[in-house]
Amino acid sequence: MAEHKYLMFLGCAIPYRVSAYEISARKVLEKLGVELVEMPEFNCCGLPLDPVSHDMMLILAARNLALAEQKGLNIITLCPGCAGTLKKVNKMLKEDKALCEKINCHLKEAGLEFKGTVDAKHLMQVLLEDVGLERIKGSVVKPLKMLKVAEHNGCHILRPKEFIGFDDPEDPKTLKTMIEATGATCLDYMDETECCGAPSVGVSDKVALQLARDKLNHIKVVDAEAMITICPFCHIMYDTNELRIEKMFNEGYGIPILHYPQLLGLAMGMNPKDLAFDELRVNASKILNKVCESEK
């Protein structure tokens, strides 16, 4: 029997275009004793619409929490945006009775009620707090000592601290520690905690791509062989746009962007194909060859 059981909240971006993250995360979590139950009838977490309607965000998030409460299970998300929103709204509604009543009036229309009885956690928080570092280290059969990578946390796993609170936004440690658990070296670089720019896509692509380029430049300087992300939007921003950025600004990177569970899966001895490496836009064969060669 699995030791930890969660409702899987996929959000929208992952089923829309980031399947490698989902595939690798499911594989890794299974091996680490985390059971995932699919979450029926969930909806967008609400975050994308906060800029236009705070109320709509609150209702959408609360509807998801109310659905999870009916199942009696805590939520796990792979997207920091979803995790952050569900955490934030959970806290707000628990602490503000009047707001809770207002939102519950909306939920009642669909026969739902927010009670505040479940938690929402991001994958990294589950790995850190439930699975634990020792278990993760113990699952590594093929230490990736030959790899030097750069981490990219993304914003919503860190900020605002008031609502997320499990890592230090100014000096985050979780992802770094988890990367080092695979045996790979996690390099320090300039502006590590900076935004990828994804939320500005559609409003100003120019600003968004310049932000992404800035980050790629910083990790190129330290000779990182890959960037490790834990957010579908950050991943899209770098993996999908890397070629575009290279052309636009006349740069050359060739840096593959991996989802953290892909890196962990490799260290657990899983096959790159099973971890959906072929779904990545930026070819990762260079680092995969390096991992294979070291076995010989």
Partner 1 sequence: MTDTVEKSIKASEMEPSFKYEISKMHGGEKLMRCFQCGTCTSDCPVARFSDTYRPRQIIRMAQLGLKNRVLDSDTLWLCAACFTCTDRCPQDVEVASVIRVLRNLAVEQGHFPQVFKDQATCILESGYAYKIPELRLKKREGLGLPPLPKGNPESVCKTLRGVGFLKHIEKKGE
What is the contact surface with partner 1 in residues (CB under 8 A)? 10, 12-13, 15-17, 19, 22-23, 26, 38-44, 48-56, 59-60, 63, 99, 106-107, 109-112, 155-156, 159-161, 169, 193-195, 197-200, 202-204, 206-208, 210-211, 214, 276
Beta strands in 25-175 (DSSP E): 34-38, 75-77, 120-122, 148-152
The distance of closest approach from Cβ of residue 229 to partner 1 in the complex, given in angstroms and rounded to an integer, is 15
Query: Of the two residues 46 and 144, which places its CB atom closer to partner 1 in the complex?
Result: 46
Q: Phi/psi at 44 (nearest 5 deg)? A: -45, 140
The distance of closest approach from Cβ of residue 255 to partner 1 in the complex, given in angstroms and rounded to an integer, is 20
Query: Of the two residues 8 and 266, which places its CB atom closer to partner 1 in the complex?
Result: 8
The distance of closest approach from Cβ of residue 145 to partner 1 in the complex, given in angstroms and rounded to an integer, is 30
Q: Which two three-digit tokens encode residue 66?
A: 């109310």
CA end-to-end span of the chain: 36
Burial readout 146-178 (b: 16 or more C-beta within 10 A, e: otherwise) = ebbbbbbbbbbbbbeeebbebbeeeebebbbbb
Contacts for 242 with CB less than 8 Å, ≥ 6 apart: 216, 253, 255, 257, 281, 282
> How far is residue 98's CA from residue 238's CA, in Å, rounded to a whole number?
42
The distance of closest approach from Cβ of residue 208 to partner 1 in the complex, given in angstroms and rounded to an integer, is 8
Q: Which two three-digit tokens encode residue 200?
A: 């500005």
The distance of closest approach from Cβ of residue 79 to partner 1 in the complex, given in angstroms and rounded to an integer, is 11
The distance of closest approach from Cβ of residue 1 to partner 1 in the complex, given in angstroms and rounded to an integer, is 19
> How far is residue 63's CA from residue 89's CA, in Å, rounded to a whole number?
11
Query: Of the two residues 62 and 255, which places its CB atom closer to partner 1 in the complex?
Result: 62
> How far is residue 102's CA from residue 268's CA, in Å, rounded to a whole number?
48
Query: Of the two residues 128 and 155, which places its CB atom closer to partner 1 in the complex?
Result: 155
